[in-house]
Structure 1
Amino acid sequence: MKRLYYLPLLSLTVIFQSYGQTKDLKRYKNASLSVEERVEALLPLLSLEEKVAQMRIFHANIGVEADAKGNLKLSDRVVGKLKLGIAGIKNPAEHMEPVMAAKFNNALQKYIIEHNRWGIPALFVTESYNGVDAEGCTKFGRPMTSAASFNPSLVRRIWDVIGKEARLRGMHMCHSPEADLVREPRFGRMSEAFGEDTFLTTQMVTNAIKGVQGNYEGLGKGTHIGAVAKHFAGYGQVLGGKNFAAIEISPRTLVDEIYPPFEAAVKEAKTLGIMASHGDLNGIASHGNPELLTGVLRDQWGFNGYVVSDSNDIARLFYFMKVAESAQAAALMGLEAGIDIDLYAEDSYAYLPEMVKKNPEIEKLIDRAVRRVLRTKFILGLFDNPYVDVAKVAKGVRAKSSLDLAKESDLESVIMLKNDKKTLPLDKNKPLKIALLGPLLHKNTKSMFEAVLGKNSTIIAEKGFDLTDGKKDIPNLLPRNPEAMNKLVTIAKDADVNIVFVGGDEHTSKEAFFASALGDRASIDPVGAQDELVEQIKATGKPLIVVLKHRRTLSINTIAQSSDAILDTWDLSEFGDESLARIIFGEVAPSGKLPVTVPRTIGQLPFHYSMKEINFKKEYLFLEKGPLYPFGFGLSYTNFEYSNLKLSVNEITPTSEIEVSVTIKNTGAVKAKEVVQMYIKDEIGSVTRPDKELKGFEKIELSPGESKVVKFTITPKMLEFTGLKMDKILEAGDYTVMVGTSSQEYLKTTFKLNK
């Protein structure tokens, strides 16, 4: 049975007032008190059941709806839950346009506040992989796409928009960004993260969090939302690239490579939340790992926000991970480890009130968790200003500046992998018959190209075939379509230039949910007849430009061999094809760089540029040496000359620094941007060391003939690593510094560390 609560949504255009200012106000409502004082004033008032309610989040799809007139409609199940209050609700109003969502969430929050004893507001939670995961918000490229920009300030501006748009529609937290390293292209969630490298991911994650939280100051002002960095820790390293599989990471790799983005998220970016990982570390399930969630996260790093489970994962300690003897034992294990909020489950923290009757000491751990949740709500200002000012929504969401930012991000994120005989850019003033072909062609691609190109040339667009049947849970590959193939080749023969859109889509790379959905792959080759399509169009003898769209790294050997030019776009914004056309026709030079290594074959996995030096000693029989394209690689329409690499001194000590300088000159005829990258190699260590590690980068723009001196600072902190005794150390010895255009093309010099 559904219950209807008719609230005047259309009149909710001003911010509601949270309780009148009277002498009867309870202490926790006093906004002049500190957050900690308000938490301690409220916590003792709560019953045990009310405390546990503040440790649970449910999804809106269990009965938070709108009727035909947009009024709030709650199921009996939801009504029952809200009597005690709730920590939060996931994705309320996600399918409504922003203004209606803001009105709806105001009504929902009002109901929640008025129907629990202490008027405790709820956290409304979203996610952000292409912008706010909700109807009517600006759609940006995915995190991996923006990582290719190598522009942290750009990422910060993107997430600033995400934070503002989410808060305007009534949201408070987002289960994003991902601080995981992704080095496994079989993994369907690869594009949700920022790449394979520790330093690059750290820069991107900290800027994403600072952006979405409004540099933390936007939280209490009600202009931004809180971040939940995830998945702590090592989630992107699942064996075989299969979601929910085991994770094998050495303790040293964990500390030196996996932890730093999370540590920076806590210490530098001040993330409000952390989400635990589905996986395990050294056989210990992360959701039941007190050393990880309390020892490292809180005792070492000083994190004072809340930790939320991944969906249902506390209960899964019992029935999936099988490290707890019962559902109740799993609940206690998660609680003791440091999980404050149970996401979705009905068979985990729901048992806590009964468990306390048998073991009253558990309530101390419950109090610990509830303090963290209430603290978050006070930081966000929800007790004082729980509602959205609807009058600001229409102008604030999808503002022109936000849409322009999406286009700007696309332009900086496209990676040119190949450009034989200067195939690109095309001359937009020369009349051409251009064919846009292939399974990754979108409905609006032609119109976007026409808007950029004008009327000088003729554009023909033909998708030809789909890759899969589009089934949501387990898509099926479609058989080769000879008629579609012949039609595409016929069009290609008649064109002056062919632009072929291939790669993968949301069906060939996606999250493999726990129930029946699949999204990981056992191969990283392009699916279906895409290689054949490229080969046949190449055989026409017409110039062939490949646009690679995808959400996982693909081994594109045939494409690399057959094409004249390749533009790697990953997954761009809603305006991606417009930005792509601007690059193809030379309005803007490509400046993206690979945030991951592109292998030649799945047989090279695991394969990332910063592996230990000894991993590169031997190659494989019958396979060309090295990656197909290295980390940090990306071509431009101009040439950049590197020269005059200098160090301020040739020795560093634990208390000194070295300034590195290099001159970069644009020796071509086009204004363009370049990502200057600095790598460091420890030549001899007491433990086996990486071949090289990215330690700095800067994106610069140079006009033709212009030069610029770029400077980096080498600090002792950059040279630290985990030694034989598993503590952080600095070792005296020789180091090589490399500065260049990719992880494989650079100038180099040496310096010493003396202690």
Structure 2
Amino acid sequence: MKKLLILPILAIYVLVHSCAESSSNGKDYKDASLSIDERVEALLPLMSLEEKVAQMRIFHANIGVKSDENGKLILSERVVKKLKIGIAGIKNPGEHIDAVAAAKLNNELQKYIIENNRWGIPALFVTESYNGVDAEGCTKFGRPIASAASFNPELVKRQWDVVGREARLRGMHMCHSPEADLVRDPRFGRMSEAFGEDTYLTTQMVTSAIKGVQGDYEGLGNGTHIGAVAKHFAGYGQVLGGSNFAAIEISERTLIDEIYPPFEAAVKDAQTLGVMASHGDLNGIASHGNPALLTGVLRDDWGFNGYVVSDSNDIARLYYFMKVAESPEAAALMGLEAGIDIDLYAEDSYAYLPEMVKTNPEIEKLIDRSVRRVLRTKFILGLFDNPYIDIPEVEKGVRAASSLALAKESDLESVILLKNENEVLPLNKNKSLKIALLGPLVKENTKAMFESVTGSNIKYVAEKGFNLTDGSKGAPNLLEKDPKAIAKMVNMAKGADVAILFLGGDEHTSKEAFFNKALGDRATIDPVGAQDELIEKIKATGKPVIVVLKHRRTLSINVIAEKADAILDTWDLSEFGDESTARIIFGEVSPSGKLPVTVPRSIGQMPFHYSMKEINYKKGYLFLEDGPIYSFGYGLSYASFEYSDLKLSSNEITPYSEIEVSVTVKNTGKVKAKEVVQMYIKDEIGSVTRPDKELKAFDKIELNPGEAKTVTFKITPKMLEFTGLQMTKVLEAGDYTVKVGTSSSTHIETAFKLKK
């Protein structure tokens, strides 16, 4: 008898399903002529509760998405089960195969997903970007903090435009990047993922990166670019002790005036499709359970209408790590109410929502709110209408010659000349020299890259000598000093005309600290191992010593700064980094990078950024020279620049007027060079203690020898606003100083007044 009932019930289901699909609310979500909101509202009522919740979850491809030896898609039973009712997205499918293979895999994966959920809802494939697209076979750019050193937002936008194009061509749709966090504590292992310590510089870089990766938003729907996810909202870079997952304590005034602006610009100016919540708490409130932050500030105040995604497993961690929820279910509800739309990876959080609705039906309204945001994103990206990649376009578009050239161009504008005693640089490639390339940051291809720049006149010997750590992925260990390796490098330096030392840190000495005992933060910021001893002994040979500093966190390079004849700070450059460095060493290009951070003498000076309150500078420390080793915005050139004739269009500004600032900059050197002209403003008297100075504008210009240019900036009332005594934005009448120059510590200045 039961078998006889199957056919009528199935027929009724098919009839209802068919009618609902074509005429929910009288509209068909497949109709591309409808607005995005209309299509979302046509689709949402068709979906079951379980299907809705599936659109609020992302899993990682490493649980069972791969290809066989013939490139065919293989899915684990676990993945097949997940995809029966659809999914919000999958992280990093095809990340370990080349772009063409990844595009084919992702086409096959997307086809499977669309054909195996009732409504044909496509999935978002998600990547990240720290050196370009984090996947095999893409152009490898420098890390974000190296890009920030270029002080060239237009260049950064072009770089991220390549990221967006290459990611889309391999079948990706969203990028859990860029970071809008400020990084002011070099103990923090993730320092190089962000754009530095300054609010204004970070804002310019983040908005440029988002506009680039999203193709000025227009690239989303036409299938050429991917959506950005600005992270980590908010204050994540300020963890106490520089220790990942530690508490975050930031005053409300600092949040509003310094931490929020890059995120606000990401939302309002760059139109980021997504935002990721912060791992940490914020003044005692876990960010993933903070409705005032994720809904109040982000949506109500700024008008954000994209989706908010959790960081890895962080909704569940409200219960078992943060301990602000009484149960896993309570953690899920807390995240949902706060405004988290997508749960990243967890099986013990939003997976519980269907059962929770049975006892609390009101939850479904919040679920619908989140699902609308996810579906809207998929429609914006055009995935319902054009879900697949055109394979013949992949080879032409990934690692194109123009992209590789851009990586080199970005390197050349990001290298910072910190020291050049007696003008030891640039070296003359036409002079017969023997050069020793020495030190733990020498790579296998370093010698070949230098040879490609200089030709046959220069002879090279190369020796890495020693590694800094044992390379363990979780918690790397420092290696014991190797006196024989040091002695070998010293002898090589003796036999050379010039020694170039590659010092600093690597991916093992500065990295993200995960759960499961994976460490990446440091309690000190001195160079690790025997690097100081190495430079001291090679300096004692009497040979010129040039240091190429590679690193992912700021280092207190006291000994290096004292002993080196020249220092090139390269942070972490592109795949062509050593070639670009050689081109600068031999004078093909004058260095033009500037420090995006302050370089302290000791970790004991922390917190230590240039825009601290003026009162922070009143006293130094016993037995330590005052000030940093190098200040924010600092960077030398092979040319020299003279600043003069600083003028204001008016000595007064009102809430309704602007002042034009002009300055003449002249290249008084012998080579063509680029200079970053920086404008800082100091509020002399405030109702609350004010920063010593704040970067408000910059312009990178190029000058021939003897050439002068007039650079102009505008001072607007908005630049002078700050959060006052009553925790509202104020413009206060009084005296201000404008400082224009080559760094935060070297400038000429004049004054103006704000009158009301």
TM range (shorter): over 0.9
The answer to whether residue 514 in structure 2 is matched with residue 513 in structure 1 is yes
Q: CA deviation at 1:713?
A: 0.2
The answer to whether residue 477 in structure 2 is matched with residue 480 in structure 1 is no
Distance across 2 between alignment mates of 1:731 and 1:80: 61
Unaligned runs of 5+ in 2: 1-17
Partner in structure 2 of residue 251 of structure 1: 252
The answer to whether residue 605 in structure 2 is matched with residue 604 in structure 1 is yes
Distance across 2 between alignment mates of 1:586 and 1:338: 53
CA contact (8 A) 2:207 2:265 kept: yes
User: What code does the residue aligned with 2:194 have?
Assistant: A
CA contact (8 A) 2:190 2:510 kept: yes
User: What code does the residue aligned with 1:82 have?
Assistant: L
Partner in structure 1 of residue 197 of structure 2: 196
Distance across 2 between alignment mates of 1:265 and 1:367: 25
Distance across 1 between alignment mates of 2:458 and 2:375: 61
Change (3 A) 1:624 1:109: same
Unaligned runs of 5+ in 1: 1-18
Q: CA deviation at 1:67?
A: 1.3
Distance across 2 between alignment mates of 1:31 and 1:632: 49
Distance across 2 between alignment mates of 1:663 and 1:120: 58
User: What code does the residue aligned with 2:227 have?
Assistant: G
The answer to whether residue 146 in structure 2 is matched with residue 145 in structure 1 is yes
Partner in structure 2 of residue 380 of structure 1: 381
| 1:29 alignment partner, SS class | coil
Distance across 2 between alignment mates of 1:134 and 1:196: 28
Distance across 1 between alignment mates of 2:605 and 2:506: 24
What does 1:438-477 correspond to in 2, within 5 Å? 438-477=439-478
Distance across 2 between alignment mates of 1:321 and 1:170: 36
Partner in structure 2 of residue 72 of structure 1: 73
Distance across 1 between alignment mates of 2:248 and 2:283: 8
Partner in structure 2 of residue 51 of structure 1: 52
Distance across 2 between alignment mates of 1:579 and 1:571: 12
Q: Deviations over 1:107-151 (max 9, x none)?
A: 000000000000000000000000000000000000000000000
Distance across 2 between alignment mates of 1:474 and 1:47: 45
What does 1:422-571 correspond to in 2, within 5 Å? 422-571=423-572
User: What code does the residue aligned with 1:174 have?
Assistant: C
Q: Deviations over 1:250-296 (max 9, x none)?
A: 00000000000000000000000000001111200000000000000
User: What code does the residue aligned with 2:220 have?
Assistant: L
Partner in structure 2 of residue 707 of structure 1: 708
Q: CA deviation at 1:470?
A: 0.7
| 1:28 alignment partner, SS class | coil
Distance across 1 between alignment mates of 2:296 and 2:264: 13
Runs of 4 or more above 4 Å deviation: 22-26
User: What code does the residue aligned with 1:391 have?
Assistant: P
Q: Deviations over 1:645-679 (max 9, x none)?
A: 00000000000000000000000101000000000
Distance across 2 between alignment mates of 1:465 and 1:519: 20
Partner in structure 1 of residue 302 of structure 2: 301
Distance across 1 between alignment mates of 2:273 and 2:302: 14
Partner in structure 1 of residue 103 of structure 2: 102
What does 1:357-368 correspond to in 2, within 5 Å? 357-368=358-369
Q: CA deviation at 1:537?
A: 0.4
The answer to whether residue 615 in structure 2 is matched with residue 630 in structure 1 is no
Q: CA deviation at 1:482?
A: 1.0
CA RMSD of aligned residues (A): 1.0
| 1:303 alignment partner, SS class | coil
Deviates more, 1:510-519 or 1:160-169: 510-519
What does 1:160-309 correspond to in 2, within 5 Å? 160-309=161-310
User: What code does the residue aligned with 1:98 have?
Assistant: A
CA contact (8 A) 2:645 2:664 kept: yes
Q: Deviations over 1:593-639 (max 9, x none)?
A: 00000000011000000000000011111111100000000000010
Partner in structure 1 of residue 621 of structure 2: 620
Deviates more, 1:54-63 or 1:23-32: 23-32
User: What code does the residue aligned with 1:370 have?
Assistant: V
Partner in structure 2 of residue 134 of structure 1: 135
Distance across 1 between alignment mates of 2:97 and 2:575: 18
TM-score by length of 1: 0.97
User: What code does the residue aligned with 2:245 have?
Assistant: F
| 1:459 alignment partner, SS class | strand
Q: Deviations over 1:138-172 (max 9, x none)?
A: 00000000000000000000000000000000000
CA contact (8 A) 2:131 2:143 kept: yes
CA contact (8 A) 2:22 2:28 kept: no
Partner in structure 2 of residue 747 of structure 1: 748
Distance across 2 between alignment mates of 1:547 and 1:421: 17
Distance across 2 between alignment mates of 1:443 and 1:147: 27
Partner in structure 2 of residue 11 of structure 1: none
TM-score by length of 2: 0.97
Deviates more, 1:510-519 or 1:413-422: 510-519
Distance across 1 between alignment mates of 2:283 and 2:138: 41
Partner in structure 2 of residue 349 of structure 1: 350
What does 1:312-331 correspond to in 2, within 5 Å? 312-331=313-332
Distance across 2 between alignment mates of 1:201 and 1:640: 26
Partner in structure 1 of residue 15 of structure 2: none
Distance across 1 between alignment mates of 2:499 and 2:283: 51
Distance across 2 between alignment mates of 1:660 and 1:105: 52
Partner in structure 1 of residue 4 of structure 2: none
Q: CA deviation at 1:516?
A: 1.9
Partner in structure 2 of residue 15 of structure 1: none
| 1:27 alignment partner, SS class | coil
Distance across 2 between alignment mates of 1:536 and 1:29: 71
Distance across 2 between alignment mates of 1:108 and 1:514: 30
The answer to whether residue 85 in structure 2 is matched with residue 84 in structure 1 is yes
User: What code does the residue aligned with 1:554 have?
Assistant: L
User: What code does the residue aligned with 1:439 have?
Assistant: P
User: What code does the residue aligned with 1:605 have?
Assistant: M
Q: CA deviation at 1:573?
A: 0.1
User: What code does the residue aligned with 2:389 have?
Assistant: V
| 1:596 alignment partner, SS class | coil
Distance across 1 between alignment mates of 2:563 and 2:616: 30
Q: Deviations over 1:30-82 (max 9, x none)?
A: 00000000000000000000000000000000001111211110011000000
Q: Deviations over 1:566-594 (max 9, x none)?
A: 00000000000100000000000000000
User: What code does the residue aligned with 1:537 have?
Assistant: I
Distance across 2 between alignment mates of 1:517 and 1:605: 24
Percent of aligned pairs with the same amino acid: 81
User: What code does the residue aligned with 1:124 have?
Assistant: F
| 1:292 alignment partner, SS class | helix
Change (3 A) 1:23 1:247: closer
Distance across 1 between alignment mates of 2:22 and 2:268: 40
Distance across 2 between alignment mates of 1:35 and 1:140: 35
CA contact (8 A) 2:526 2:557 kept: yes
Q: CA deviation at 1:23?
A: 8.2
Q: CA deviation at 1:515?
A: 1.9
Q: CA deviation at 1:24?
A: 8.9
| 2:480 alignment partner, SS class | coil
The answer to whether residue 574 in structure 2 is matched with residue 573 in structure 1 is yes
Q: CA deviation at 1:477?
A: 0.6
| 2:740 alignment partner, SS class | strand
User: What code does the residue aligned with 2:378 have?
Assistant: K
Distance across 1 between alignment mates of 2:103 and 2:632: 42
User: What code does the residue aligned with 2:262 have?
Assistant: P
Distance across 2 between alignment mates of 1:160 and 1:69: 32
User: What code does the residue aligned with 1:379 have?
Assistant: I
Distance across 2 between alignment mates of 1:587 and 1:120: 53
Q: CA deviation at 1:514?
A: 1.7
Q: Deviations over 1:464-487 (max 9, x none)?
A: 111111111111111001111110
| 1:244 alignment partner, SS class | coil
Q: Deviations over 1:472-527 (max 9, x none)?
A: 11111110011111100010111000000000000000000122210000010000
